[in-house]
Amino acid sequence: MPLNAFNNMIVSEQSAQKYLLGFCWKNHQRFCPRCKQRKLYRLKNDKRRCSRCGYTFHDFSGRFINTGKLTAVQWLWLVKLFELEVATSKIVEQTGLSHNTVFKALATIRLAILAHSLDAQLIVDHGYSLGFGNKRTPLSATDPDKDPPPPVFGIFEHAGWVFADIVPGLDAESVVHFKRNFQLKTASLGNIVYTDRYQQYATLMTCGLYLRKHHPQKHLDRGLSVDSSKGFWPYSRERLKRYKGVSNERFPLYIKELEFRYNSRQQDMFAQLVEYLCAFVPNLG
């Protein structure tokens, strides 16, 4: 999305809304988000009520974008700045929005990316919640008191595409086990611990905060094959270094963001992000 096209889109709140609604309703055909009924009653304030189940909704109800009280123009600006990888503090400065509002909006964009990834269900099964409705929070472990070991993501690259998927059956404890018993090399970048090649994966990655707490050993091995690889790893290294404070809870969000950015590097990332943001929040339980 070149800047001149973006400029035309945000020229008014009306044009920005029109762009967003194009992603919400195919051919402007509205339906009830709960039961898919098409016969709806128009209410005040642009709301509609379903003739079958009585659900009252507006155009963004149940969608990722229904977070905070941002205008359509503000949302499009936030997506653009996210696309350009502008730092959160700079976005706050440039938009005049509060830090909290910007933080929540960016977390929502990342959540929408995660929800559209192939292993979204596996991530949720690992104890993470996508949240729902107004109470949606950034991805959070459902029982933080239990301090469960974070998941392990395996990086697999093929024909210019990367798959950064959760590896079923492994968690941060497995990385320690492989290191101790099979001399699997490990190194770290910020809070991320990563390994040498493992089976079909170029590297395994997990959040190091948990490891630091439970297994205070260093991850300083040299000569990991992934460090001399091309493609996804050099692309991610720079970015991972910036994610210094990444927590257990937010770690999958960043991995999925990197996977998405890398795979979208030749495409119109902006339109794809808006499409994700305008999608319904799936109920992955």
Min CB(40)–Zn ion separation in Å: 8
Binding footprint of Zn ion on the chain (CB under 5 A):
32, 34-35, 37, 50, 52-53, 55
Min CB(16)–Zn ion separation in Å: 28
Other Cβ atoms less than 10 A from the Cβ of 35: the count is: 12
Who contacts 198 (Cβ-Cβ below 8 Å, separation ≥6)?
Answer: 154, 178, 184, 204
Min CB(52)–Zn ion separation in Å: 5
Nearer CB in complex with Zn ion: 52/265:
52
Helix (H, G, I), strand (E, B) or coil at 69: coil
Please report how the helices 13-24 and 72-83 are oriented relative to each other, as an axis angle in degrees rounded to 10: 70
Min CB(39)–Zn ion separation in Å: 9
Min CB(50)–Zn ion separation in Å: 3
Nearer CB in complex with Zn ion: 54/160:
54
Kindly report the length of the chain: 285
Nearer CB in complex with Zn ion: 30/34:
34
What DSSP letter does each residue of 124-176 carry, written as one string? HHTTEE---GGG--SSEES-GGG-PPPEEEEEEEETTEEEEEEEEEEEHHHHH
Nearer CB in complex with Zn ion: 46/238:
46
Nearer CB in complex with Zn ion: 62/231:
62
Are 114 and 256 in contact, with CB atoms under 8 Å apart? yes
